[in-house]
Amino acid sequence: MILGRHIMNSKQRIMTTIDHKTPDHLAVDFGATPVSGMHVTCIEQLRNHYGLEKRLVKVSEPLQMLGEIDDDLKDALGIDTTSIIPPSTIFGFKNENHKEFTTPWGQEVLVPEQFNTTMDKKGDLWIYPEGDMSVRASGKMPDEGFFFDSTIRPTDVDYDNLNIEDNLEEFSLISDEDLKYYETQAKALANSDKAVVGGISGTQIGDIGLVPAPFLKNPKGIRDIEEWYISTAIRTDFLHELFTKQCEIAIKNLAKVHNVVGDVFDILFLCGNDFGTQNSSFCSTDTFDELYAPYYKMLTKWIRDNTSWKVMKHSCGAVENFMDHFIDCGFDIINPVQCSATGMDPQTLKDRYGDRLVFWGGGVDTQRTMPFEGPEDVRVEVLKRCEIFSQNGGFVFDAIHNLQAKTPIENIVAMFDALNEFKGK
């Protein structure tokens, strides 16, 4: 922290950063989105390390078994964000009326009321859409696993005669009940001194993680991931029609949500479709411009014309060559900045795009450094990334995607200690 600089609250710090100006010190997020959080095991370990009140961790995102980071832990860690998450989970049940649940690894946690599971003879844990155990399970946690994978449930689909309505089933106008939820949450956070990150369903154009529809009891249409990728090459007319109708519904829902939350949202987590792999990409930038960009632009234009919200785009992998295209689509923020992927050199990213795109993440590698190296390695990497990315603002510290189960607590603490060291505390 530079002596004499005005001390900001968390909201001011985040918004100054997004404006590509230098805040009083580095802005930090953990837990505001489903791609910048912590596994429930990490949160429990951190609460114990900092001597906080003993309490069960609440599961906020059941697919990845991410936990809610309570205010006392946010304060201990120096986190500058809070969030209004969608009212329903990825498995289609409401995130409410929590109950106690013992995980397969023996941790007691709190889960939503309709978090209903069965375990088979192999020790695999199965979870059900809307908690309805009379239909096929839509998620599976393998024996000795720590999170669920969406299951591919066969659909009776004629690929020569596709019905657009089948893949539109999950895109509908937001209910009055859900609008009331947003209104209540917004009122509770209206005077928060933290930056508020919001999200609504239906804005994730072509998000491969949602194609299997783990939230639907009996999904129809194209639900197989391999077949979806094939469709991006040979069924583009179908996808254009689908995305057009999806955007029409999404814009109506954006308007409805904005009507009740107003400017309480500071940032909207718009979409999480990955365009990169570890070494390459899922499609060319030409395909991105032709198939995806027109619809992203429709959504970001509405947001820019009607709200004060800043827009976040998530994409893992080697996406350096997509950055200009993300910027052209109207995205303000990119996450998670996977510096371990091909072509994602931190200094190159900052030099080429740092004045036009906010890097939200990239602070430390969660594939190698955090789980497998030592505290000093963590410290060195964190300090180096902060030095590069924080120049002239435009950097919110987060790890590269979520902190995973089995990450040593010594390394997690070393990450936060390095952050405090960089801040000058």
Residue range 73-101: average pLDDT? 97
Q: Is the pLDDT of residue 249 over 60?
A: yes
Is 140 exposed, middle or buried (CB count within 10 Å of its CB: 0-12, 13-18, 19+)?
middle
Q: In the prediction, which pLDDT does 3 show?
A: 40
3 state DSSP class of 381: helix
Q: Hunting for tokens 């908690």 — which residue is that?
A: 131
Task: Please give the average per-residue pLDDT across 213-223, as a whole number.
Answer: 97
Return phi, psi of residue 108, to 5°.
-85, 125
| Position 101 confidence tier, pLDDT thresholds 50, 70, 90 | very high
Q: What pLDDT score does 247 carry?
A: 97
- For 155, list phi and psi in degrees, rounded to 5: -120, 145
Cβ atoms 319, 279 nearer than 8 A? no
- Please, which pLDDT band fits residue 425 given cuts at 50, 70 and 90? low
Between residues 424 and 258, the one the model is more confident about: 258
Is pLDDT above 80 for 66?
yes
Which pLDDT value is given to residue 154? 87
Per-residue pLDDT tens over the stretch 136-164: 999 999 999 999 999 999 889 999 999 99
* pLDDT of amino acid 2: 44
pLDDT score of 298: 98
d(CA 268, CA 258): 11
CB within 8 Å of 345: residues ≥ 6 apart: 339
Nearest partner of 77 among 194, 244, 213, 187, judged by Cα: 194
pLDDT at 255 (0 to 100): 98
Query: What confidence score (pLDDT) does residue 5 get?
Result: 62
Residue 6's pLDDT is 81
% of the chain beyond a pLDDT of 70: 99
pLDDT confidence bin for 221, thresholds 50/70/90: very high
Alpha-helical regions (H) of 129-168:
none
* Domains detected in the chain: 10-38+69-91+155-423 (3.20.20.210)
Looking at the predicted structure, is the pLDDT value of residue 288 above 60? yes
CA angle 203, 179, 257 (to 5 degrees): 45
Q: Report which DSSP code applies to 202.
A: T
Q: Label residues 268-302 b or e (16+ Cβ within 10 Å = b).
A: bbbbbbbbbeeeebbbeeebbeebbbebbebbbeb
* Count, residues in the chain: 425
Mean per-residue pLDDT over the chain, rounded: 96
Q: Does position 1 have pLDDT exceeding 60, yes or no? A: no
pLDDT above 90: percentage of residues in the chain? 98
- DSSP code per residue over 249-295: HHHHHHHHHHHHHGGG-SEEEEE----B-SSSBSS-HHHIIIIIHHH
pLDDT digits (tens, 9 = 90+) for 103-141: 999 999 999 999 999 999 999 999 999 999 999 999 999
